[in-house]
Copies of this chain bind each other. A is one copy, B any other.
Amino acid sequence: MFPKLELEAQSDRPIYRQLHECIRKLIGSGALRKGERLPATRDLAGQLGLNRTTVSAAYALLEAEGLVLGHVGRGSFVLSEPRTSVSGLRWDRLLPASDALSAPAPAPSGALSFATSRPSEELFPMGDVRLSCQEVLAGPNAASILQLGSPGGYPPLRHYLLEEARREGVARSGDDVVITNGCQQALDLLQRVLVRPGDTVLVEDPVYPGLKNLFLRAGAQLAGVPVGPDGIDLEALERLLERGPARLLVVTPNFQNPTGATLPAAARRSVLRLARSAGLVVVENDAYGELRYEGTPLVSLKQLDETGDTVLVRSFSKLTFPGLRVGWVTAPQALASRLADAKQLADLHTDQLSQALLLRFAVSGRLDSHRARIRAAGAERPRAVLEACRRCLPPGTTFTRPEGGMNLWVRLPEPLDAAELLGRAQRAGAAYLPGKYFAVSRHDPGALRLSFAGLAPEQIRAGLAILGEVFSSELARARLERFESAPAMV
């Protein structure tokens, strides 16, 4: 039986705080001991003739102090004694449980890392960057660039991007551009404006962790649309759309991260047709589109879209410099204006020095030179990685053949587990990101992503030699073990 509690109905102190104090004292005096269960709120409320929310409020205070731990469906348990010294907040209780997979331990320095999708610093045209920056800060707008700006973006850059998009045919008269801190923030703002907890969001499966975790954190229901060598599986998309209403489809038609897959032109039309009949918002994630190393550029979803409703997300980060956080959304005005509102609440506006610098880099023609150079030098890398994959990885391994971008998807033969082998690969001097970080609705333990753009061709070859050796030796060991553990046929 729970000890008797003395509450004063006439007191100035609210009842829930009196109750909190009483229970706190019972814990302090040892009358309630660690591990003991408090009465259910309903029972205690009944016993004391109180409203149940009063009891809940008292329990919430005890929990915030770390004296009590609540388990949904199991009740509240005494956790510890009140500290007699000045008691600080119990951050472990205040912070929600972390839901994301923790990142793998970083590779030892000096390891050849295929783990991050980023460009090679060696290809940064530092002279052109210095010149562009100098011109911006010597120019007539220098002081106003350092002054508070506009949520939609630095106006000269917004106008430039909108003009370019019109020239290319991706923006029409009803569209507008909103500048963001790269694609990641563009997706975050779209989530804030368009997605409510419980909404279904369709994403590619596998997809990069930043996209997946963003929508999960927002409380969305993720449904994975499988990605094959030719991009998302249209039949699977159709089946998912028939299963129930969805809010958003995020699709990467060019060089998808992590698979490197490209969606053929006909499939792009089908995606739009399916989305249109389902009333679905299509977000075209085109961070990598400019990094095509071979084959013919394909027309974007935004351009193909008869209704003009597709939301196009692009960025300078992959083509130029990811340390400058500048991306942008091209979207119908009604949506763009809400995105700008959300942007203002998120961080007022994007850094203006980087916006001005990238604009100068573009209009001076330096971006064109850089693009040409990146495409030429960049093309050596997928060639090197494909050639090395063929040569080094054990038989039975499959991998995609990207025509651009920064990533390639490898599937090791059974029973290899890419996550289990990472530690060994890192100790041997090479790193990658295992497939489990990219999994949405299905997971292949043998899958992994190789991000090749940040490494020089000779590093790619050396890194794959290491990985090939680790995978092959493990495969030989596993097969030997399987052979040896097979029961004798008697």
Contact = CB atoms under 8 A, between A and B. Distances in A.
B184 A242 contact: no
Interface stretch (A71-79, A322-330, A379-387): A322-330
Interface string A161-196: 000000000000000000011101100100011101
Contact of A88 (B61, B92, B192, B309): B309
Nearest to A356: B323
Given A118-B148, A181-B181, A94 B194 contact: yes
Contacts of A338: 95, 98
Interface stretch (A256-264, A339-347, A460-468, A477-485): A339-347
A351 to B, nearest CB: 4
Given A124-B146, A279-B89, A185 B346 contact: yes
Contact of A193 (B95, B180, B182, B188): B95
Contacts of A335: 91, 95
A109 interface: no
User: Which among A88, A116, A182, A307 has the highest number of chain B CB atoms within 10 Å?
Assistant: A88
Interface stretch (A11-19, A229-237, A414-422, A441-449): A11-19
A378 to B, nearest CB: 16
Interface stretch (A34-42, A136-144, A391-399): A136-144
User: Which among A13, A145, A180 has the highest number of chain B CB atoms within 10 Å?
Assistant: A145
A44 interface: no
Nearest to A219: B197
Interface residues of A, number: 89
Sort A-B residue pairs by CB-CB distance and give the 8 closest, nearest first.
A88-B307, A64-B279, A181-B347, A146-B321, A185-B347, A323-B352, A91-B334, A351-B351
Interface string A75-89: 000000000001111
Nearest to A318: B148
A345 B137 contact: no
Interface string A118-135: 110100101001100110
Contacts of A279: 61, 64-65, 89
A334 B95 contact: yes
Contact of A323 (B147, B243, B278, B346): B147
A100 interface: yes
A150 B147 CA distance: 26
A429 interface: no
A70 interface: no
A269 B409 CA distance: 57
A295 interface: no
Contacts of A210: 344-345, 348
Contacts of A213: 345
A323 B149 contact: yes
A250 interface: no
A111 interface: no
A349 B334 contact: no
A46 interface: no
